[in-house]
Amino acid sequence: MPISRSGGRNVHIYDAKKPTAVLGGLILSNGVTNANLYSMLGIFIVFESPFPEELFHLQDEKGTRIEKNNHPLQPGKYYIVTMSRFLHHPFMIK
């Protein structure tokens, strides 16, 4: 029986169009920034468009846009907002 890899995650990623289906997540560690999360998503998400950085952004549970900056990433739920379709590879990062 496979071991659940979701235990301990405190950052969860969702598609804003399907907000109840988790795409993945990570266990937040010191030094991880908002920009790091955007970079991680660029590895695990394949967008239909050749320019995904122009076509998606993240928002938190309150609907606040999360900028791609060096502010510390906070625990919580993050939603990928895009007009493009995408594929994802389930992931967890420690």
Structure-token pair, residue 28? 């937040």
78 within domain boundaries: yes
1 within domain boundaries: no
pLDDT digits (tens, 9 = 90+) for 38-57: 998 887 777 776 665 567 89
φ and ψ of 53, to 5 deg: -65, -20
Residue span of the structural domain in which 59 resides: 11-93
3 within domain boundaries: no
Q: How far is CA 71 from the centre of its chain?
A: 15
Number of domains in the chain: 1
pLDDT digits (tens, 9 = 90+) for 52-94: 556 789 999 999 999 999 999 999 999 998 877 676 655 544 4
Alpha helices by DSSP H, listed for 1-94, are 34-44, 52-55
- To which residue do tokens 């420690």 refer? 94
To the nearest 10°, report the CA torsion of 18, 20, 24, 28.
120
